[in-house]
Chain A
Amino acid sequence: MTDAPERTRWDPASEHLLRELAPQVLGVVARRFRDFPSAEDAVQEALLAAFRQWPAEGMPENPRAWLIRVASRRMTDAVRSEIARRERESAIAEEEPAVEPPEEIEAAMDSQDTLILLFMCCHPALSASSAIALTLRAVGGLTTAEIAHAFLVPEATMAQRISRAKQSIRTSGVPFRAPTPQERGERLPAVLRVLYLIFNEGYASSIGAQLQRLDLAREAIRLARGTRTLLPDDPEVAGLLALMLLTDARRAARAGSQGEIIPLDQQNRSLWNRGEIEEGTALLTQALSSGTVGLYQLQAAIAAVHDEAVTADATDWPQILALYELLQRVAPSPVVTLNHAIAVAMVHGPAAGLQRLEALDGDERLSGHYRLDAVRAHLLERLGEIERAVQHYRAAAAGTASIPEQNYLMTQAARLEESREAHTSQPTDSEL
């Protein structure tokens, strides 16, 4: 659909530059014309023009100004043709008010503009998938094709998601201006949630052709860093970045050669990234010093306790338990309750953990959900109730929508069943 050269054929420096410039340019143009959705289209066209022309003509001396100029020209042309269209359609054309774009050259307020963009793209009125797509393009500077590829949908489909997202913004009448402190407080959670969802989309798949897919976890970290630069004093922003780093630190150890899941307690900790752990821990310490305790800070704290343990056995489970208890008060959810039950089991024994799970049986959001079966299976195994554990591992495997998880759960069931058979086939003392 696009005849522009693939961005990946550019040298990394140019690609990086364009990605950095894209949101800056968008901020300026959106501010100048007071129209984010149209500005976003215009900037996309300017970027495409850059792809076509710069390799042939060389990069302009001031790439940023070039992009702003081209995008602004597109905006003016669009406004003029809109006027012309209305004139053609209306018999009383002279009654149409003249629409003139502002002429003043505004001093670029980069960081403010990017902050506005971020809040706009993560507006609570947008669905999660729209916000994710729009944020990756408008703030992340990724192409539609790159985003489509990352989410395994056709480019036209992704283009439409972004288009509809902008339409929602247009209809909601959100103005292009910095959020007030109150608005920021209200809407920051939505921003952080979008970034966290992008992070959880995960890494490049380990299967062949899909390796070229964008590393969304890395992209999320980059966006979170950018957000932290914009809001250096916000503890939850720091908490989110810390959580991402502390989780990403385990990347090399989390999957085996076949892509199979290696759970936390079995990971080779020498493969963990010390640099990310240190950075994450430092960020977290700083965030917690603010005195407030938010959802991401707590999750980061839990990740930090895991990451600081030299071996799985050395994990400070009582501290994790205390943190989950706090988390249950700050941001209760079935997943938190599940993880809390595991922590209870690690501190007070599997029977205590299983008791916590019973409270979830009545919870509609979770009943019959595979995770409940998986945790139950794990605790039943620890309790020595092998037959029931096998049943629940299999039930969990049948309910999951993830192949690596399914493989992992099936393998656990198989392993347990084998150990059970080995046990029962041993002669008992009385038979010897």
Chain B
Amino acid sequence: MKYMLMMNTMRAGAGVPAWPKNDLQAHIAFMLGLNRDLQQSGEFVQAEGLTFPSQARQVRAGKDGVPITDGVFPESKEFLAGFWIIDVETPERAYAIAGRISAAPGPGGVPLNMPIEVRPVMSAPPAEMM
């Protein structure tokens, strides 16, 4: 069963976290270790990070096929920072992986407890979307 795990942690003005060097490196190592473990268990499908919200764009259909693009979002909006696609046997396994991601260490090595959204990916082809 495929699940999408989303890290919706960035706000509009987000910049890079200003943590101490060791904490930063611990965080990076944690994420790399997680991905490696998922690959070894065969549960890893995809993991992507996204560029910062300052580069996000919102597009709506415009008139005459010219889309309307802007970079203005509500201040309260939470942006997707990155996501994983995993292929697991049970929903509990998906939540467990999400739990591990969520507990990634932040400043002072303290678990961040970031909210990680877990969504089943529909197995039907796009023609049957929704």
Task: Assess A208 versus B54: contact at CB under 8 Å? Given A258-B32, A406-B16, A415-B21.
Answer: no
- Closest A-B pairs by Cβ, 6 of them: A208-B39, A414-B21, A397-B16, A398-B52, A415-B21, A394-B16
User: Could you give 14 example pairs across A and B, Cβ below 8 Å?
Assistant: A207-B32, A207-B36, A208-B35, A260-B28, A394-B15, A394-B16, A398-B16, A403-B49, A407-B24, A410-B17, A411-B25, A413-B18, A414-B20, A417-B18
| CB-contacts of B29-63 with A (<8 A) | 29, 32, 35-36, 39-40, 44, 49, 51-52, 54-55
A411 near B24 with CB under 8 A, answer: yes
Chain B residues, Cβ within 8 Å of A258: 28-29, 32
Chain B residues, Cβ within 8 Å of A105: none
Cα(A410)–Cα(B15), bound, Å: 10
Cα(A209)–Cα(B43), bound, Å: 11
Interface residues on chain B, number (Cβ under 8 Å): 24
B18 near A401 with CB under 8 A, answer: no
Q: Is the interface of A mostly helix, strand, loop or mixed?
A: helix
Chain A residues, Cβ within 8 Å of B15: 394-395, 398
* Nearest A residue (CB) for B82: A403
| CB-contacts of A380-411 with B (<8 A) | 394-395, 397-399, 401, 403, 406-407, 409-411
**A259: interface (CB < 8 Å):** yes
**Which of A260, A410, A415 has the most chain B CB atoms closer than 10 A to its own CB?**
A410
Cα(A417)–Cα(B22), bound, Å: 12
Cα(A397)–Cα(B52), bound, Å: 9
A418 near B20 with CB under 8 A, answer: yes
Cα(A1)–Cα(B111), bound, Å: 45
Chain A residues, Cβ within 8 Å of B40: 208
A414 near B35 with CB under 8 A, answer: no
Point out residues on A near B: beta carbons under 8 Å: 207-209, 258-260, 394-395, 397-399, 401, 403, 406-407, 409-411, 413-415, 417-418
Cα(A414)–Cα(B27), bound, Å: 13
B21 near A398 with CB under 8 A, answer: no
B44 near A208 with CB under 8 A, answer: yes
Cα(A209)–Cα(B44), bound, Å: 9
CB distance from A405 to the nearest CB of B (A): 12
CB distance from A170 to the nearest CB of B (A): 28
* Nearest A residue (CB) for B47: A207
Q: A209-B39, A407-B28, A411-B24 are in contact. List 19 more A-B contacts (CB 8 A).
A: A207-B32, A207-B35, A208-B39, A258-B32, A394-B16, A395-B15, A398-B15, A398-B52, A399-B52, A401-B51, A407-B24, A409-B16, A410-B17, A413-B16, A413-B18, A414-B19, A414-B23, A415-B21, A417-B20
CB distance from B104 to the nearest CB of A (A): 14
* Nearest B residue (CB) for A209: B39
B39 near A394 with CB under 8 A, answer: no
Task: Assess A418 versus B21: contact at CB under 8 Å? Given A207-B39, A403-B49, A406-B16.
Answer: yes
Cα(A361)–Cα(B28), bound, Å: 32
Cα(A411)–Cα(B21), bound, Å: 6
Cα(A418)–Cα(B25), bound, Å: 14
Provide the B83-125 mask, 1 if CB < 8 A to any CB of A, else 0.
0000000000000000000000000000000000000000000
Chain A residues, Cβ within 8 Å of B29: 258
* Nearest A residue (CB) for B45: A209
CB distance from B19 to the nearest CB of A (A): 6
**Which of B24, B28, B36, B49 has the most chain A CB atoms closer than 10 A to its own CB?**
B28
Cα(A417)–Cα(B18), bound, Å: 9
Cα(A398)–Cα(B56), bound, Å: 12
Chain B residues, Cβ within 8 Å of A409: 16
CB distance from A361 to the nearest CB of B (A): 19
Chain B residues, Cβ within 8 Å of A410: 16-17, 24
**Which of B16, B19, B29 has the most chain A CB atoms closer than 10 A to its own CB?**
B16
Cα(A407)–Cα(B25), bound, Å: 8
Cα(A298)–Cα(B19), bound, Å: 40
Chain B residues, Cβ within 8 Å of A414: 18-21, 23-24
Task: Assess A208 versus B36: contact at CB under 8 Å? Given A398-B52, A414-B21.
Answer: yes
CB distance from B24 to the nearest CB of A (A): 5
Chain A residues, Cβ within 8 Å of B28: 258, 260, 407
Cα(A85)–Cα(B17), bound, Å: 65
